[in-house]
Structure formats: structure tokens, C-alpha cells
Amino acid sequence: MQNLPIFNVVGLVFDGCQASGVTSPFDVFNVINTLWKQQLGEEASLYNCKLVSKTGAAIRCSNGMRLLTDNALTDDIKADLIIIPGVHHSNSKTLLDSLQRLQEECNWLKQKINDGCVIASNCSGVFILAETGALKDKEATTAWWLGGLFKKLYPDINHCADQLLVKSGLLYSTGSMTANLGVMLKIAEQQVGRQLTQSAAKTMLIDAAQSYASPYLFVQEHADHQDSLILAVESQLQRDISQRLTLNSLAQTHSVSVRTLSRRFKKANGVNLNNYLQSLRFVNTKLLLETTNLSIEQIAERIGYSSQSSLRRLFHKQLGISPKQYRQRVKQHAED
């Protein structure tokens, strides 16, 4: 292990990029470097991290941070891994305008992809990777709230809406900051081994186990209406999910008749309140199975099921497998 080569990590930055999309991954590699030196007494670093911008000039991130860069796109840059951060935007138009301004960066990425470089893109940065054409007929993901636009712009890409991390050959796409850090650990594990990367994960308290976006997709699919009453009811359902919630009790809490609440809820969401609550409990059960070690009994109590058997019946009805089997499947997926 002492004869490992130096790996070159390059962050592609531009005005309006999200600073954390590159600075946080760089921190991961810095911690690995530190542990490498501390644990094995090495002097040289394993990872060499640099920033590149179009002209080599400093750039201004979306949070106001000014970053000095090491290279321009025209320089001879050695890169084993290129990190693409998110693009700050206020709506779809400003995102599309930014993508248009980043065509030189896209062309540079095309060349690096052809050279066999690993690419890791996060959030709206996945749109930049998509612009290169390298994801055509491949799988990818992005931030859950950008899924609709991504599918519209890139119909030839298989958008994995329920995944927070997707690997397609040497191309990684992620839909959350945690998943982005998880990619860095996965890549580092392939390069320097599991022991060192696990030590880094423990040091930084990184838990990259959650790989599904189901709870966020559920909120997105049912939050397009503007009914203030139903939005308030939905908030209570999510907040008090462990409680025994009924149409009658909710109508009384929100000072409306049962008939009015039932009618407006169905109009806003396309499903009745009981079905909505059952679906909400199901996606939250999946989240707890994916991200915690809680027992089935503890999950049933936290999510508001009347019993463990009720939880198991619903789970088998929806997925055809038991909660235990689902947890094992997710664990195996995270280790692959």
C-alpha cells in the first residue's frame, strides 16, 4: 500500500457554482491524506486537489466565496477525477442560461471523458455532464426537485428518479450532498482501499447509506397545489405521523367539516386522505429501513402503525418482500 500513486483530483469551477460541491469533496481527500500520513508515517499525499476555471482566473461562487484557481482549461491538466459542482439558479430559465454560457467547459469535459477520466457530478451539475452527450442511453440522477426538467431536456437519458447516487461506467451523478460525499468515498476505496476510506468516513461522520429519494419525491408529487388548508393538514400529517390521525380529528383541528376536508384533500392530491397517509407512512418506513438500525417494532411505533404485522402486510403488498429483505437489499446496493 505504501507504493500507491498520487491521484489528481480536479474541481471544475465557474461563476455561480455551488462552493460546497467542490470544497466538501476536497475535504474528504484532505482527511484521507492526513490519515495516510498519521497511520502509516508517509510524507507524500495520496491526493493532489486543484481547481480549474475557463481562463484560470478567480471565480465567484453563488454564496459569495471567491476561489482562486490553479489552471485554465487550455493548460495541460492531469486529472484522474473531475468534480462538477451544482449551478446556482432561481428557475429553469436561469439554469438554461448558465448551461449555455458553460459550453467551453462542456467541450473540455468531453475531451477528458474520451481520455478515460472519472467524472462526478452533483445536483444541477449533472445537467453540465448531460450537456456533453456522454450520458446518452445511460442512467443518471439529479436533485429530486429537478427531475421533471431533467427528463424534459434529456429524454435519451434514463433518469433514475428514486436514486440519490447512480454510476454509469466512469460517470457518477448524485442528487444530494451526502451522496456526493459518498461517491468520493467509493472512488477512494477503489484507489486506496476500504480501511483508509472507512476511517475517513468515521472521522467526518459521513453516513452515505441513504441511496433512495422516495420521501422527497413523495412530497414533490403531492405539493403542487396552493390550497392553504390542505398544505397545513399535510404538514401535520408529516409532523404527527406517529399519532392516530383520522379525518374527523383533522377536520376538528383545522376547524372545517369532515365533508369539506375530504373534498378539498381529494381535489388537491388526487387521492383521499387515508390513502395519502398510508403512502406517507410507507415512504417514511423505507427511509428508516435505509438509514437506521431501528427494529421493525421501533419503526412501526415511530411511523404510527397499529402493529408490526400491519407494517409487514403493507410492505409485502407494495413491494412483494418483507421489511427485513428490503433492508438487506439496500445494504447490498450500498456496498456494491
- Across the range 218-240, mean pLDDT stands at 75
The cell numbers describing 219, all together, are 412530497
Query: Edge-to-edge, what's the strand order for the sheet holding 118-122?
Result: 71-72, 47-53, 7-12, 81-84, 118-122, 171-174, 165-168
Contact 40, 3 (CB under 8 A): no
> Is the model's pLDDT at 288 over the cut of 80?
yes
pLDDT at res. 223: 58
In this structure, whether the domain defined by 7-208 belongs to CATH 3.40.50.880 is answered with yes
- Across the range 307-334, mean pLDDT stands at 84
pLDDT tier at 23 (50, 70, 90 boundaries)? very high
pLDDT at res. 41: 74
- Across the range 39-43, mean pLDDT stands at 75
pLDDT tier at 285 (50, 70, 90 boundaries)? confident
- Stretch(es) of the chain classified as CATH 1.10.10.60: 215-335
- Across the range 307-331, mean pLDDT stands at 86
pLDDT at res. 258: 94
pLDDT averaged over every residue in the chain: 88
pLDDT in tens, 244-257: 889 999 999 999 99
Share of the chain above pLDDT 90, in %: 52
The CATH homologous superfamily to which domain 215-335 belongs is Homeodomain-like (1.10.10.60)
Per-position b or e across 180-192, b if 16+ CB within 10 A of its CB: bbbbbbbbbbebb
Contact 83, 9 (CB under 8 A): yes
- Stretch(es) of the chain classified as CATH 3.40.50.880: 7-208
pLDDT in tens, 170-228: 999 999 888 899 899 989 988 888 888 888 888 887 765 555 555 545 555 555 677 88
Q: Which of 98-107, 161-170, 290-299 has the lowest mean pLDDT?
A: 290-299
> Is the model's pLDDT at 163 over the cut of 70?
yes
**Crossing angle of helices 20-40 and 194-204, rounded to 10°:** 120
User: Which of 209 and 146 is assigned the larger pLDDT?
Assistant: 146
pLDDT at res. 193: 86
Residue 296 vs residues 69, 192, 303, 309: alpha-carbon distances, Å:
50, 36, 10, 10
pLDDT at res. 152: 94
pLDDT at res. 161: 82
- Across the range 251-276, mean pLDDT stands at 92
> 139-140 and 158-159: which strand pairing?
parallel
pLDDT in tens, 84-142: 999 999 889 999 999 999 999 999 999 999 999 999 999 999 999 999 999 999 999 99
User: Which amino acid is located at 2 in the chain?
Assistant: Q
pLDDT at res. 194: 80
